[in-house]
Amino acid sequence: MEHYNLLVTYHPTRAGLAEKEVRKRVEEAGERVEELVNSCISGVFCVEVSGDVKQLVSDIREEFWEDPGMLTHTFHWMPVDRWVKANVEDMTDAARELAEGIEETERWMMHMHKRRHDMTSEELVLALTEPISKGKVDLRNPDKIIAVEVLGGMAGMSLVTRDQVIDANRMRQEIGIPIVY
C-alpha cells in the first residue's frame, strides 16, 4: 500500500461513477492517476497520483468552492504521507514524526477515520496524541491536522492543512446547499 498517496471515499453502490469522477478531477487538475484500486474497505479507493498530492487536492478543493456540482460521487479526499501497520506503537511513532512539522506557535488537531480496528477511536486518538507536546490543540480552527485513516491492518497518515483535504458534504453545508448521500 505504500505507493498509494491518496484515499477517496464514495458510496459503495456508485463505485464506477466515483472512479470516473476521481480520474476526471485528477486529470483536469493536470495530474495523472497512476493506479486506482478498491481498498479492503467498501467505499474507499486507494489511489496513486502523479505530482504533489496535497497541491492536487487543494486545487480540486478550490474548484469545488466555485462549482459544488463537480463532486457528486465522492466524499472525502485525503492525501497520505505514509503508511504504517495499524498498531498503536507504529502509529504513535508516525504521529510523533509527523508532529515535527508543527511549529510551536501553531494550533493542531488529530482527525481519525477508523475502519475494522479493535480499539475505539477515542482510545487511539488519546494514545497517538499523548506524546505530542508541540503547539496547542485546537479542535475548531487548527493550522495543521494529523490525519489518520485506519483501513484494517494498515493506517495511512499525513500532516495536512485544512485546504489540503476535501470533505465535500461539510463544504456543501458551509455553502448552504444539500449534502449528497
What is the pLDDT confidence band of residue 116, given thresholds at 50, 70 and 90?
confident
> Could you tell me if 31 and 43 lie in one domain?
yes
Distance between CA atoms of 39 and 106, rounded to whole angstroms?
33
Cell of 17: 461513477
pLDDT beyond 80 at 117? no
Structural domain contains residue 1: no
pLDDT tens digits, 3-57: 899 999 999 999 999 999 999 999 999 999 999 999 989 999 999 999 999 999 9
Distance between CA atoms of 115 and 175, rounded to whole angstroms?
29
Structural domain contains residue 152: yes
Better pLDDT: 134 or 79: 79
The share of the chain scoring above pLDDT 90, in percent, equals: 83
Distance between CA atoms of 69 and 172, rounded to whole angstroms?
10
What's the mean per-residue pLDDT of the chain?
Answer: 94
Supply the CATH number for residue 171's domain.
Answer: 3.30.70
Structural domain contains residue 94: yes
> Could you tell me if 62 and 45 lie in one domain?
yes
Question: Residues 6 or more apart from 48 whose CB is under 8 A from it?
Answer: 3, 4, 5, 6, 33, 34, 35, 36
Classified as helix, coil or strand, 88 is: helix
> Could you tell me if 171 and 147 lie in one domain?
no
Better pLDDT: 116 or 139: 139
Cell of 110: 488529530
Nearest Cα neighbor of 18 from 26, 27, 9 is: 9
> Could you tell me if 133 and 114 lie in one domain?
yes
> Could you tell me if 75 and 87 lie in one domain?
no
Structural domain contains residue 180: no
Cell of 131: 506524546
Q: What is the pLDDT of residue 122?
A: 87
> Could you tell me if 154 and 136 lie in one domain?
yes
Structural domain contains residue 119: yes
pLDDT beyond 80 at 1? no
pLDDT tens digits, 75-92: 999 999 999 999 999 999
> Could you tell me if 75 and 95 lie in one domain?
no
Structural domain contains residue 181: no
> Could you tell me if 168 and 114 lie in one domain?
no
Supply the CATH number for residue 124's domain.
Answer: 3.30.2130.30
> Could you tell me if 73 and 92 lie in one domain?
no
Distance between CA atoms of 143 and 141, rounded to whole angstroms?
7
Q: How long is the chain?
A: 181
Nearest Cα neighbor of 75 from 61, 86, 87 is: 61
The share of the chain scoring above pLDDT 70, in percent, equals: 99
Beta partners for residue 144, in sequence order: 108
What is the pLDDT confidence band of residue 142, given thresholds at 50, 70 and 90?
very high
Q: Is the pTM of this model over 0.95?
A: no
Structural domain contains residue 21: yes
Q: Range of 63's domain?
A: 6-80+164-175
Q: Given the C-alpha cell 515535527, which residue does it identify?
A: 100
Counted domains in the chain? 2
pLDDT beyond 80 at 153? yes
Structural domain contains residue 26: yes
Q: What is the mean pLDDT of residues 135-140?
A: 92
